[in-house]
Structure 1
């Protein structure tokens, strides 16, 4: 990558194999397509119409205060937001309780299903993982509410800490580069590569890092991926080689059409199942579908395609769970 000329407003640090001094990038990967391709997609037709509101088949969950021992429980809030309860800790992934995944309250992708846990019913939140800064994953309004109510520790990739601290100055946040780790309350958190990109606006593309996380806990290892393109399975293979088997992987499998535009940033259901196998994950909590319409496919298309992919790869349905809002998944001991 050539050295960038612009000043990065979020992060200044040494050049690396995924940072050129200004911009982060996916080594040997696919860069996000530009404005002309965006307009080609947006005005090219082919987008399926979603319902305005969809009831979840599950009632809103009211989680227990804690789980411990060998228990590992995942409760779906919606999209990439899940409550993970393990080793006496309550962990939120990419928390979004806002009605829109957008910088605006009046425009942008609108939630079609209510959060599976009411915000006021959350147990005490200890840890928040923010995988990158797209609005469907980093929601400042929700982070402010969490800070006021729970004062959690936030872990996020490089540069996103600046965005969060500017909006929520009192929040406790740790930024990690790929390959870095921290201990936290009896577990270990590793930041690992994902194939994605970042932007909050039109002038900050790829100026904050994106990542996956591995949680090493007394109840087993958890691999959380907020967003990723498949990238030939490179990152899944590397995670397995470094960390061994996972009791649980939290994997996206929606928002993938049209493939010519989305391939580099969002894996499809076939790729998600292959990723599960490459990472050697015993179980998967599937996410990133049926909450905000970000792409072209029908609201029910990801789950249908996932069922076909599991059959193609001889994965039993109970192992890869496409979680709906309010659904609770008690992960078996691997």
Structure 2
């Protein structure tokens, strides 16, 4: 165990690290064990079907996308293939059947991955936003490293977890505000989001969580793996620092009950407010319809998203709720050149 009782990271105190644990400045901590039991024993969970098939076939992506092209293909949950600037980027890759420390229990996939792992193009970069099991899957990272040897970009402390299974991985470990240059073509910035971390009962907040801004010649992309809305503070800060975005990848599922989830998972209405606050021309919506993590029905996020978009006067085509296998060629706009 590292100095100070943190098994993953030791470093200087900052505005979001107290020497042992990370935290959200001015934010709300996740609920404790008593509230977890209250939620889990309280019922009111809408049943999900055992299988929720995607209307799209499993995709077989091109090797790369060059020029002004920007393509996003949904694998499932928060796993997206982003193709831009001749590079292939995976976010929070999970190909395992369960998002769980156990192979026989825990949330299981309701649909197949939208791309077979054998059909992936050469993967250059993997972004891991935080260490929850639906975002950091060691079995998948091990397989990707063996086949593609990508550069993994991840926040402080997560590298320790990953290296236990993938000791030879190439990794760039980042704090909020750090940047990583990739082949003089892409710059990846680590930015705050309002979330938390844990792999087991005793390591809560001991590895950092982050959003990423991907700066490319084809425009800027804002990728958020998980976040509470936090009054839109982080969205506005991202726009103030980076300008508006051609694309934002925003979570909009796994949000009920609000009394328990509001600090960690935004709902569809908040995701639309985040889209506006960060100045995103288009959104790839994720974090819904694959793993049942919370109380809402499997299609409730879609219905709530339609209401939120109509209320905000935003065309539905600008906020795409992606399904596994779906390919989104993001339109270019005047903003993409900013």
TM range (shorter): over 0.9
- Offset from partner CA, 1:131-181 (integer Å, 9 cap, x none): 000000000000000011100000000000111111110111111000011
SS in 2 for 1:13: coil
Give me the TM-score of the superposition, normalised by structure 1: 0.98
SS in 1 for 2:235: helix
Residue 89 of structure 1 is matched in structure 2 by 87
The 5 A counterparts of 1:204-219 are 204-219=203-218
SS in 2 for 1:283: strand
The 5 A counterparts of 1:59-78 are 59-78=57-76
SS in 2 for 1:213: strand
Residue 250 of structure 2 is matched in structure 1 by 251
* RMSD value, Cα: 0.7
Q: Is the counterpart of residue 171 in structure 1 residue 169 in structure 2?
A: yes
SS in 2 for 1:276: helix
Q: Is the counterpart of residue 38 in structure 1 residue 36 in structure 2?
A: yes
Residue 8 of structure 1 is matched in structure 2 by 6
The 5 A counterparts of 1:166-315 are 166-185=164-183, 186-315=185-314
Q: Answer whether contact 2:4 2:10 (CA < 8 A) is retained.
A: no
Take 1:308 and 1:60, find their aligned partners in 2: how far apart are those partners? 29
Take 1:262 and 1:88, find their aligned partners in 2: how far apart are those partners? 38
Residue 330 of structure 2 is matched in structure 1 by 331
Residue 25 of structure 2 is matched in structure 1 by 27
Take 1:238 and 1:13, find their aligned partners in 2: how far apart are those partners? 25
Residue 336 of structure 2 is matched in structure 1 by none
SS in 1 for 2:233: helix
Change (3 A) 1:327 1:282: same
Take 1:37 and 1:16, find their aligned partners in 2: how far apart are those partners? 29
The number of residue pairs the alignment matches comes to 330
Residue 98 of structure 1 is matched in structure 2 by 96
- Offset from partner CA, 1:236-278 (integer Å, 9 cap, x none): 0000000001000000000000000000000000000000000
Give me the TM-score of the superposition, normalised by structure 2: 0.97
Q: Is the counterpart of residue 133 in structure 1 residue 131 in structure 2?
A: yes
The one of 51, 54, 75 equivalent to 2:52 is 54
The one of 104, 111, 114 equivalent to 1:113 is 111
Structure 1 unaligned segments of length 5 or more: list them.
none
Take 2:198 and 2:324, find their aligned partners in 1: how far apart are those partners? 27
SS in 1 for 2:90: strand
SS in 2 for 1:167: coil
- Offset from partner CA, 1:18-46 (integer Å, 9 cap, x none): 00000000001010111000000000011
- Offset from partner CA, 1:205-228 (integer Å, 9 cap, x none): 000000000000010000000000
Aligned-residue offset at 1:6: 5.1
Change (3 A) 1:297 1:68: same
- Offset from partner CA, 1:69-102 (integer Å, 9 cap, x none): 0000000000000000000000000000000000
Aligned-residue offset at 1:54: 1.5
SS in 2 for 1:214: strand
Structure 2 unaligned segments of length 5 or more: list them.
334-338
SS in 2 for 1:92: strand
Aligned-residue offset at 1:321: 0.3
